[in-house]
């Protein structure tokens, strides 16, 4: 993969972040497939107590999140140490959380899926079988600290189709314009 302008090291791992319902899992799995990289859903790193808490409609605390974030960071470090590439999803709502995931890893890149509360709320209401209830969406937006420019995020609007979003991400990461999915 070619270097993106302003990003001196091509990513080894891409962290697809955003509030619940922003399309992280769909976009990240399509992106991993397009790149031929490994994919992990950050939700799979949650301990059962976290999932139970969210299913009951209770937002997670920072104390709930630290072990989850550490597990994702360990996966990232394992891939990097083995010279492999991957895409992982994680809400990464606060800068402190992103520091755990990206920190001083110059080959880990954030992709922020950005959307407004109404669109995401409609999408969450239409999905079935996910442990995160729509009732927690407002707490997600209250917690969200959008990534700052010094975090070098790739910010992508979620208004397009997942395939178009993946094409946009691929184009931005390679420095070439997107030509469809």
Farthest-apart Cα atoms in the chain, separation: 45
Q: Strand pairing of 38-40 and 13-17?
A: unpaired
Count of other CB atoms within 10 angstroms of residue 45: 20
**Residue 127: how many other CB atoms lie within 10 Å:** 11
Residue 127, phi-psi category: left (phi > 0), alpha (psi -120 to 50), beta (remainder): beta
Distances (CA, A) of 168 to 8, 112, 165: 19, 12, 5
| pLDDT tens track, the chain, 181 positions | 333 444 445 789 999 999 988 999 999 999 999 999 999 999 999 999 998 988 888 888 999 999 999 999 999 999 999 999 999 999 999 999 999 999 999 999 999 999 998 888 777 666 555 445 556 778 888 899 999 999 999 999 999 999 999 999 999 987 766 554 4
Q: Say which residue the tokens 């931005």 belong to.
A: 172
Angle between helices 162-174 and 24-35 (to 10 degrees): 50
With residue 87 as reference, give the H or E element that holds it.
strand 86-89
Helix residue spans in the chain (DSSP H): 24-35, 48-55, 62-81, 95-101, 117-126, 137-143, 162-174
Q: What is the pLDDT of residue 21?
A: 85
Q: Please give the pLDDT value at position 134.
A: 58
Give domain 13-174's CATH number out of 3.40.50.300, 3.30.200.20, 1.10.645.10, 3.30.930.10.
3.40.50.300
Torsion of CA 162, 163, 166, 171, to 10 degrees: -140
Are 8 and 107 in contact by the 8 Å Cβ rule? The answer is no
d(CA 154, CA 149): 9
- According to the model, what pLDDT value does residue 135 have? 62
């Amino acid at each position: 993969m070619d270097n993106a302008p302003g990003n001196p090291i091509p990513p080894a791992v891409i962290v697809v972040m955003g509030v619940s319902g922003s399309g992280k899992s769909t976009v990240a799995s399509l992106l991993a497939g397009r790149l031929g990289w490994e994919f992990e859903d950050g939700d799979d790193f949650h301990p059962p107590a976290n999932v139970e808490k969210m299913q009951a409609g209770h937002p997670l605390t920072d104390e709930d999140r630290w072990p989850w974030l550490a597990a994702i960071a360990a996966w990232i470090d394992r891939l990097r140490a083995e010279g492999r590439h991957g895409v992982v999803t994680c809400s990464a709502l606060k800068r402190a959380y992103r520091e755990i995931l990206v920190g001083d890893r110059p080959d880990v890149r954030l992709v922020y899926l950005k959307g407004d509360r109404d669109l995401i709320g409609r999408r969450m209401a239409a999905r079935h079988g996910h442990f995160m209830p729509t009732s927690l969406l407002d707490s997600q937006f209250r917690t969200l600290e959008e990534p700052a420019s010094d975090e070098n995020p790739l910010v992508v609007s979620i208004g397009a189709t997942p395939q178009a979003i993946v094409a946009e991400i691929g184009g931005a990461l390679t420095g070439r314009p997107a030509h469809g999915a």
